[in-house]
Structure 1
Amino acid sequence: MSGDGDQEKFKRMSCGLELDCPASIQDALSKSTSDGYHFIVTCLIHPQYHRTIQKRVVTSKSISRTDRILTGNDWTRLIVGKLSTLQVDSEIKHVKERSEIILKQELGFASHLGLPAIMIQLHQKSNPNLAHILHNTFLNGANYQVWVTLPMVHPSKYTPLCEKNEIEDSWEWWNDLRRYCRYDKRLGLVLEMPNVGEVPSKIEMDRWVGEPIKAIIIPTYLFLTNGHNQPVLSKVHQEIIQRFLLIDVQYIIRGPLRSSSYKQYNSYIHFLGKKLYKESTVMEFVQGCEDYLQNPLQPLSEHLETMIYEVFERDQVKYVEYQKAIQRALEDIPKEITTPVIMVLGAGRGPLVQAVINASILTQRKIKVYAVEKNPFAINTLEDRVLNEWGNIVTLINEDMRTYQPPEQADILVSELLGSFGDNELSPECLDGAQRFLKKPGGISIPQSYTSYLAPFQSTKIFNEIRSNKPDDKTIETIYETPYVVHMVNYYQIADSKALFKFEHPNWDENKSNERFKTIKFLCPQNCLLTGFLGFFETVLYKDVMLSINPQTYSSNMVSWFPIIFPLQHPINVAENDIIEVSMWRSESNEKVWYEWCLESPVKGHISNPNGRSYFIKKH
């Protein structure tokens, strides 16, 4: 706690200690726990137990120390088991067969102990037989995680002896293995921290952040000693740790003691959780929403609840910009219009009405306000605000804006009907229906326009979240033909977003249609795994006043909207310099609006969500 009583902000850091074969695992666990470590990593099979194999059967009766040396609770919470170094993909038959038998025995023993995770090091790029064994283990019900250990940067990239065509990529080794295992969520990744001069490039690091990383191994030789004789990490290594703070990564200390005690390494990692943690409005707002799938709102067919209104209203950035736009619009209304009429469409609990009133005070313009809201329960709140805050300046209308018949025309229409993709909460349909009571010419719509954006992304975390949360009444095809709203954390955006669909208001074109179609292309900067497309939007509220969740133009600290995702049912391997091409449709009928999407390149896919069969937005 700080001196003024405010709670100190920090990132909780979970730290483990790797101990190959301690003489007493009980003592090692007790000591590491007292030093603040949350778990230890140790050999699953003690090397003193020799295993004899005859006719593909292990004949040795004892394979390791008895499980009674720890309680079941300790095994299941505090121990990560390291597997023996084995060669199940060896080209030498007897080596391969012996390795298979031992690996299967160790996997079985891990299940017997109830370990939360086991760790296995990869020693080559191609591991089809290892993947075969692991995948079958998963299918047979193994409930532990398998942590695949790899260097963050493959040594061949920094070895002078390697020719260019011999350079390996650790990510490719990982990607090969998880593809064999159908991206099983029990397969995780442990990365070994590189030396100072061998750190990954920015785009390589971006790609790692999009992977299911369970832990970062920090060898003790990477620690420096500061002026207080305490172990510290270089600025380069601190920057790497900072990149992983947003995802639930643990840290494993490995190697001989180079300080007075292992406790110092753990204390330093926890110190970094305070030093490197950057508190922000967004981080505080989205806590608990990370990579959590949400269904997009259906605001025309379902009344919003109090909690949703509260979430919207906490975003002051949005309402400050709206107020600025309304103020500028009022300044542009001719002075001969003594009392401009402003209609707030979809007033909710009144934040936009308040922004309108604030703008009128700042511009010293007398106004008349109509607050149109179809939700009868939100009207209850608006009635209270009229009575106690706004007075007769505001007239409440409990009707659907598309059918409401106003007594007079408006100089300004103000609405916040935008979803994560701009048009996905039917703002075009609603505003097209309401613009009949906007003065023509000269009437102003706020917003004036909005544009959706699309970008390819990689995230097996999101891919597995969709697969593992399948409702009983839905098919696999259905759940991957549904867009989701997600606060993305454990992902890699493969390329910058590009503009997709644009809508402008008012739209006086008598032949207007809100259906759209467009094909866009992206250049892939490095080998990666395409799992879907991210959707964003930008909106021009009025003139130069904008709001955006598009990463290139993001409105700082705005939290009202998370991105929308359009998933692919099957992840696609994409090579460096490949073209990712996608076609997107916005379609409608009398009853609904829906999106369809189709991957065109690097492989031809099928059209997802044809005729809105899996997902659509209701018009009524």
Structure 2
Amino acid sequence: MGDVVRIGRLQTCVPDAHTVMDALRGNEMHFAVLPLVHPRARREFANKTVRDEPFTRSDLTLSSHAWSTNVVGALSPWLNLDSPCARVRTDSEKALKQEVMWAQHISCPAVLTPIPAKKCPNFARALYSNLTGYTNTQFMVRIPLVWTDDPEASSDPWETWNDVRSVCEHHACLSVALELTSDLPDQDTVEQWGAEQVKMIIVPTSIFLTNASGFPVLSKRHQAILNVFFARNVDLVLSGRPRHQSDMLVYTQYLQHLYQNRPQLSDSEAFEQPYWDYLQIPLQPLADNLESQTYEVFERDPVKYVNYQEAVRLCLLDLMAQPGRKEERFVIMVVGAGRGPLVRASLQAAEQAGANVFCYALDKNPNAVVTLRNMRLTEGWVGKVEVVHSDMRAFHPDVLADILVSELLGSFGDNELSPECLDGAQSFLKPGTGVSIPQSYTSAMAPISSAKLHQEVKSYNDVKHFETTYVVKMHAHRVLSRPQDCWTFDHPNHETPIDNARYSVHRFPITRSSCLTGFAGYFDAKLYGDVHISIHPETFSTGMFSWFPLLIPIRTPIYLPAGCEVEAHIWRRVEDKKVWYEWVVTSPSVGPLNNLNGRSFSIGL
């Protein structure tokens, strides 16, 4: 990999800013974290004496371009906003405001706070006050992986961070500068930080080991932690004095070496990477016609059509095994045929099974029908395939089908109206012997924590988007408890009358303190027999990328203490013209009902 990670240098004292900036280039670094004020320059604001001397260096020390692109401002380390002494608290608050104002003036893109106290309500309040006043500046809270003053402390640094961001109402300009420590927490803690808004990793020179050649290296566990965050586009910052040869250059080169040798993405991960944590509104297949590019993306899936082909093959073999049917010409109807991949898979399955078949390729999209009619001519389908331009709910075939094949599934199984579509199309099937592929599908959900996804939804600044479900390739997130099944749809559906409304209640056990930001929705579909396609984490079809999980957000994140249960209720509501979901969390605290009567989002029938 030829790309590089941004690396900076944390300076505790800077007699000459130009010398520091020149050293950056020599050490192959990209930016510096500079103290906004000399770390020993305490200010006592209770003293009303007006001083003529400046409290810090001039903004003319560096160019505006350098301040805005190559500098992160470090707030004074002596700030103690939760001191028991009122005078110290007051001076700290006023100094904080003064330094933030200065950072805003010199166009610093971000400021780094000192490590807060384990319990820091006043620190959080003061931070929030400045956040609301200076919206263009990113505030990074310095948090160690382990409390260095007491590695055996029962309190978790994540708890401190969660307290701060909760007081600040999960402000979009608030993030974490996570400091690596010699002692490391368990992997579960690392994964928890992976779901947070970590923008910077501070790497002290004191945690480096020395290899046989005298160069600095990190332990395997430290390397593994960096690999987690390399995939999240964080900046690295070296702190502390150089403890090896060649000043800081050997550290920079080593970190770049780790970055360029990070684990390679698989083919499916490389395809998915542009969609990581990107919100997409689910398709409205009955209202919209898909574009050719969308079909092309779905057709690149290396797993889905192989499994469909195997399902059709097994089904044909079972039909041929029935008495007197071996020489029969079987009718396959592909509903929602798109640009023909399921038609092709069905014909190939028939060839493998030695079955005689005739296929109907049905689609309501007039543009897809053009492609299908061309394929009928170019791929030798004449006499084998009839292309039909029709909505499946309005189609009245002259013959009945032995097999009904469809790929109408959404990320939550039923969220693109597969039940309603197939309930209408099942009239095409031969009574008693007709088979639907898929035969059934089950929706499942799990509680998740993702600061990134919460901020993405929150950025719309309205309730409507929190009451909308999204298709997302979730990346910076953590699943808090095992997924639980919600409901199942079977096809053909023999209920009388058919009712596709559903309701389920879930109680998810939480093993460690977490922050609930929503739920992930999945499906597992039984195509035929033992052939499945699934995005459920426990039965996932490896290599399949046609579906990403469904994000079901909540408006206000909920703190979950270790040992609690998350109780969640979800409804699938159905009316004549639309289908929608409603959901609510009722434990450990009761939240508002989301998407009442489909007021924010529904799928049109």
TM range, normalised to the smaller chain?
over 0.9
Correspondence 1:79 to 2:71:
yes
The alignment partner of 2:57 has SS state of: coil
Change over 3 Å in CA distance of 1:102–1:59 after alignment to 2: farther
Corresponding residue of 1:399: 390
CA spacing shift, 1:56–1:589, aligned 2, 3 Å = farther
User: Quick one: distance in 2 between partners of 1:319 and 1:326?
Assistant: 10
Q: Match of 2:241?
A: 256
Counterpart of 2:97, as a letter, is K
Partner Cα separation in structure 2 for residue 32 and residue 369 of structure 1: 67
Distance 1:396 1:263, change over 3 A: same
1:232 corresponds to which letter in structure 2? V
Say if 2:316 is the partner of 1:361: no
- In the TM superposition, residue 366 of structure 1 has moved relative to its aligned partner by 2.2
- Cα pair distance change 1:92/1:305, threshold 3 Å: same
Corresponding residue of 2:84 = 91
Change (3 A) 1:58 1:256: farther
In 1: Cα distance, 2:181 partner to 2:44 partner: 38
Task: Say whether residues 1:296 and 2:287 are aligned partners.
Answer: no
Give the superposition deviation at 1:118: 0.8
Q: Is the 8 A contact 2:515 2:559 kept in 1?
A: yes
Q: Judging changes above 3 Å, is the alpha-carbon distance between structure 1 residues 63 and 416 closer, same or farther for their aligned structure 2 residues?
A: same
- 1:275: how far off? 2.0
Letter in 1 for 2:367: F
In the alignment, structure 1 residue 128 sits paired with structure 2 residue 115: no
- For structure 2, list consecutive stretches of 5 or more residues without a partner in the other structure: none
1:240 matches 2:225: yes
Q: Which runs of 5+ in 1 are unaligned?
A: 1-8, 471-475
**2:362 is aligned with what amino acid?**
V
- The question of whether the paired residues in 2 share the 8 Å contact of 1:49 and 1:62 is answered with no
Report which stretch shifted further, 226-235 or 341-350.
226-235
Q: Structure 1 vs Structure 2: percent identity of aligned residues? A: 40
Q: Mapping of 1:554-569 within 5 angstroms?
A: 554-569=540-555
- Tell me by how many angstroms 1:211 deviates: 0.5
Matched, 1:178 2:165: yes
In 2: Cα distance, 1:153 partner to 1:435 partner: 59
Partner of 1:228, secondary structure, is: coil
Structure 2 distance, partners of 1:224, 1:28, is 26
Match of 2:140 in 1: 147
**1:157, 1:168 within 8 Å by CA — same for their partners in 2?**
no
Opposite residue 578 of structure 1, the aligned amino acid is C
Q: Indicate the residue corresponding to 2:213 in structure 1.
A: 228
Partner of 1:209: 194
Match of 1:380 in 2: 370
2:512 alignment partner in structure 1: 526
Q: Pick from 2, 6, 18 the counterpart of residue 14 of structure 1.
A: 6
Match for residue 287 of structure 1? 273
Q: Which 10-residue stretch deviates more, 363-372 or 149-158? A: 149-158
1:89 and 1:148 mapped to 2: Cα distance?
15
Distance of 1:266 and 1:26 partners within structure 2: 20
**How far did 1:533 drift?**
1.0
* Whole-Å separation in 2 of the counterparts to 1:326 and 1:270: 50
Look up the match of 1:485.
Answer: 471
| 1:487 shift after superposition | 1.3
Q: What secondary structure is seen at the aligned counterpart in 2 of 1:552?
A: coil
Cα distance 1:141–1:157, how it changes in 2: closer, same or farther (>3 A)? Answer: closer
Moved more, 322-331 or 240-249: 240-249
Q: Deviations over 1:508-527 (max 9, x none)?
A: 22222111111011001111
In the alignment, the residues of structure 1 paired with residue 168 and residue 220 of structure 2 have an alpha-carbon distance, to the nearest angstrom, of 37
Q: 1:584 to 1:252 in 2, by over 3 A?
A: same
Q: Is contact 1:57–1:101 with CA below 8 Å preserved after alignment?
A: no
Q: 1:412 to 1:11 in 2, by over 3 A?
A: farther
For the aligned residue pairs, the C-alpha RMSD in angstroms reads 1.7
Q: How does 1:434-513 map to 2 (within 5 A)?
A: 434-470=425-461, 476-513=462-499
Verify the 8 A CA contact 1:298 1:618 in the aligned structure 2.
yes
Match of 2:422 in 1: 431
Per the alignment, residue 266 of structure 1 pairs with: 252
Equivalent residue for 2:181?
A: 194
Equivalent position amino acid for 2:494 in 1: W
Which residues in structure 2 correspond to 1:22-171 (within 5 Å)?
Answer: 22-47=14-39, 51=43, 53-55=45-47, 59=51, 61-85=53-77, 86-155=79-148, 158-159=151-152, 167-171=154-158
* SS in structure 2 of the partner of residue 316 of structure 1: coil
Q: Deviations over 1:449-504 (max 9, x none)?
A: 1011110111222112112134xxxxx22221111111111112111111001101
CA distance in 2, matches of 1:78, 1:544: 58
Q: Name the aligned partner's letter for residue 496 of structure 1.
A: R
Residue matched to 1:473: none
Distance 1:137 1:58, change over 3 A: farther
Counterparts of 2:4 and 2:481 in 1: how far apart (Å)? 31
Amino acid at match of 2:122: N
Deviation at 1:70, TM superposition (A): 1.2
How far, CA to CA, are the matches of 1:373 and 1:260 in structure 2?
69
Deviation at 1:368, TM superposition (A): 0.6
In the TM superposition, residue 396 of structure 1 has moved relative to its aligned partner by 0.3
Deviation at 1:49, TM superposition (A): 5.4
Q: Which residue of structure 2 lines up, in the alignment, with residue 5 of structure 1? A: none
TM-score, reference length from structure 1: 0.93
**Aligned mates of 1:11, 1:319 — CA distance in 2:** 35
Asked if 1:348 corresponds to 2:338, the answer is: yes
Question: Could you tell me how far apart the structure 1 residues matched to 2:9 and 2:150 are?
Answer: 28
* Contact persistence 2:507–2:565 (CA under 8 A): yes
Instruction: Give the Cα–Cα distance (whole angstroms) in 2 for the partners of residues 61 and 466 of structure 1.
Output: 47
Shift of 1:356: 1.0
Q: Which amino acid aligns with 2:66?
A: D
SS of the equivalent of 1:428 reads: helix
The answer to whether the 8 A contact 1:33-1:39 is kept is no
What CA distance in whole angstroms lies between the structure 1 residues aligned with 2:373 and 2:49? 79
Number of aligned pairs?
Answer: 598
CA distance in 2, matches of 1:201, 1:484: 32
Cα deviation, 1:186-213, whole Å, max 9, x if unaligned, reads: 1110111121xx3222222221111000
**Helix, strand or coil: the match of 1:53?**
coil
On the 8 A contact 2:111/2:140 being kept in 1, the answer is yes
- In 1, are the aligned partners of 2:443 and 2:488 still within 8 Å (CA)? yes
Of 390, 412, 420, 1:421 maps to: 412
Looking at structure 2, the residues matched to 386 and 157 of structure 1 have their Cα atoms a distance apart, in angstroms, of 73
1:57, distance to aligned residue in structure 2 (A): 8.0
Give the aligned partner of residue 3 of structure 1: none
Q: Distance in 2 between matches of 1:337 and 1:207?
A: 59
Structure 2 Cα separation of the partners of residues 157 and 137 of structure 1? 30
Deviations 1:268-308 (A, max 9, x none): 11211232222212221122222111111101011111221
Aligned partners of 2:513 and 2:560 also within 8 Å: yes
